[in-house]
Amino acid sequence: MNAPLRCPPPLGDEAYLALRRRVIFECGKWDPQCEDVQVLARFPIVITQQTWHDLAHAAEALDSEALDAEREILARPDLHAHLGLPRAIRRALSDARIADSPRCTRFDFHLTTDGWRISEANSDVPGGFIEGGAFPRLFSQIGKFGPPVADPAQALADAVLRRAGPRIALVHATAYTDDRQVMLHLARLFEQRGAEPVPLAPDRIRWNTNQPADALPFDSIVRFFPAEWLPNLPRRAQWQHFFDAGVPQTNPPTALLTQSKRFPLVWDRLATPMRRWRELLPETRDPRAINPKHEDWILKPALGRVGDGIGMRGVNTPREWRDIARAARRFPRWWAAQRRFQALAIETPDGPRFPCLGVFVIDGLAAGIYARMATRPLIDARAQDVPVLLNQPAHAHCTCGESHGRPAIAV
């Protein structure tokens, strides 16, 4: 099949080094190298406006269904145990509420022999804001390529300030450089808009339950701290209040209900039809319902992130696969089995690479792409960040002025 994306020749050494410096010093991308590999690609992925149009349309539909399903599952505690959530999180969900706050989700699309398919949704704390916004913008300027599709960090800052006042807590794991750089990048964008961002650790928020929500020191929270880590905080952190919706939060911890890779296991018990999810996400089963020796199944931790712990027989090393299969066999409730799709590689200046286009949806609208590519059909921490650019001018919003008139993505 003809791929709806292409990779032009790479930047020269001088232009690439200039780009790398700007991404580090202007955007705070402090980890541009992983071991001996340059994290930032020297060439972009160029897509057509129609491809962006179709991906955006599909991602927005997936987002709408996910939010409907989240609200329904939250009201069904009997389903929570099927999602592989820690017991402390399940207890906190019993009192959880969903505030009216912007939502940010990233859907990871892969090019396959059956068209575009998604491997998962990052609905709790999706990453890739610098790599999906500032990096493509600078690449476009230096390389004289087409424009980027959108900037998810800019869209997030605008969405948060449309809903709440200027005092914003940027909650993250402050000891992690990759998390810190994202929050400081967002802080700069909020400051440019006249807001008062405060990057801090989750245990630094003081919840005063004797006062109304508007008496809290922050108008809203942007959380970049995985919700399943919250129970690990000290008791004084009162982490359960993240679930209370006393202050608008992007994203609320209830997003874990759809972040779980076991989310599809409860679809048949929902009123929400999940039509687009059923079309675009491969079949998912409990690991006990499959034969792990068959290469047509992938094993995933229910709350895995960044590709960690994913088992693909024939792709992982034999030792990695044995360890993953053993863990899924011993603790099946914390794992999911997903039917494997046949991913397609694209030709790049560095040879064939498998692309993954993570489409952001912020406050209901597609808002940019965080793309990665790898030498194997497993996108993990070893994958390379690659900017996505258009081969023609982009409109101000992905909806192109017709939020319901775009053709559906080919499946």
Domain extents for the chain?
5-262+343-390, 283-339
| Cβ partners under 8 Å of residue 350, min gap 6 | 43
Token look-up 């199944």 returns: 297
CA-closest candidate to residue 261, choices 292, 307, 293 = 307
Question: With 0-12 CB in 10 A as exposed, 13-18 as middle and 19+ as buried, what is 66?
Answer: buried
Three-class SS of 239-281: HHHHHCCCCCEECCHHHHHHHCCCHHHHHHHCCCCCHHHHHHC
Share of the chain above pLDDT 90, in %: 76
Give the tokens for residue 174. 């402050």
What pLDDT, in 10s, does the model give residues 42-99? 999 999 999 999 999 999 999 999 999 999 999 999 999 999 999 999 999 998 988 8
Please state, in angstroms and rounded to a whole number, the distance separating the CA atoms of residues 228 and 305.
Answer: 11
Question: Mean pLDDT, the chain, as a whole number?
Answer: 89
CA-closest candidate to residue 331, choices 315, 309, 306, 307 = 309
Please state, in angstroms and rounded to a whole number, the distance separating the CA atoms of residues 156 and 363.
Answer: 8
The average pLDDT across 222-227 equals 96
What pLDDT, in 10s, does the model give residues 114-129? 999 999 999 999 999 9
In 94-195, beta strands by DSSP E: 104-112, 115-122, 167-172
CA-closest candidate to residue 133, choices 367, 399, 395 = 367
- Does residue 214 surpass a pLDDT of 80? no
Give the tokens for residue 388. 């996505």
What pLDDT, in 10s, does the model give residues 232-287? 999 888 999 999 878 899 999 999 999 999 999 999 999 999 999 999 999 999 99
316 upstream amide cis, omega within 30 of 0 = no
